[in-house]
Amino acid sequence: AYYLKIDDRDKEEILKKFPEGEVTVLPSSVHETLILKTCEDENIEMLQEMVYSVNRAEVSREEFLSDDVFHYNAKTGKLFRMF
């Protein structure tokens, strides 16, 4: 099981860097999460494969967070798994 939390401080930081508020979240490990601007032509399958491959090659079981890719809307506070 994994737990991904975006608190108010994170939300403010995301909105500063991405004023439109739409981002793609790549959970790398319990220590690192990558945030990318969401693009219309985003290849979710490729991003998910990348997360999966890096997790298998570089992330220990203890630090594993998720193989999933998420979409976050900082304006509404909604986070959901992209599939």
Q: Where are the alpha helices (DSSP H) in 6-65?
A: 8-17, 44-58
CA 80 to chain centre: 10
Read off the pLDDT of residues 31-57 as tens digits, 9 standing for 90 and up.
888 999 999 888 999 999 999 999 999
Write down the pLDDT at residue 1. Answer: 47
Write down the pLDDT at residue 2. Answer: 56
- DSSP single-letter state for residue 68: -
Q: What is the largest CA-CA distance in the chain?
A: 35
Residue 28 above 90 pLDDT?
no
Residues 21-39 have a mean pLDDT of: 91
Mean pLDDT of all residues belonging to the chain: 90
Residues 56-73 have a mean pLDDT of: 92
